[in-house]
Structure 1
Amino acid sequence: DEKALVIHSQAEEEAEKEFKCILCGECFGQQPSLARHQKHHAGERAFICAECGKAFSLKHNLIIH
């Protein structure tokens, strides 16, 4: 039935996400994704805007800024 399929699908997704954050429990499919996520917890902001000085943890966010 449809409910069983949804439960099965969710279980498969969780099995694919083997890298778990020890601080919040969020899971990731790849170690680099977990490492990027952990920078948020650490407050690391290595990407700094040359115009205003605002700092970002992700280069993508600096580019959008």
Structure 2
Amino acid sequence: PYECGECGRRCTDSSNLLIPLRVHTGERPYECLECGKSFKHSSTLLAHKKIHSRERPYDCPECGKRFQTSSALLR
């Protein structure tokens, strides 16, 4: 088991300690090449990139309007 020295969070894999460490240090290693905004997680960067591509893969079956995220569709 691995433990974060800042908050005491325990992980079975040392790579999982990167998550709390980035919270404590403010590190944001994933940067958008379009606008320069940076993120803690690669998945958040991928979701952000949809803003620039204008991709709207989620269609509302009731009104036909399209959304960038499934959470926006549900609203």
TM range (shorter): 0.7 to 0.9
CA RMSD of aligned residues (A): 0.7
TM-score, normalization by structure 1: 0.75
TM-score of the superposition, structure 2-length normalised?
Answer: 0.66
Q: Secondary structure at the match of 2:52?
A: helix
Percent identity of equivalent pairs:
35
Name which of 18, 22, 32 aligns with 1:21: 32
Gaps of 5+ in 1: 1-11
How many residues were matched structurally? Answer: 51
Point out which structure has higher relative CO (alpha carbons under 8 A, 6+ apart).
1
Structure 1 runs (4+) greater than 6 angstroms displaced: none
Instruction: Give 1 or 2: higher helix fraction.
Output: 1
Gaps of 5+ in 2: 1-24
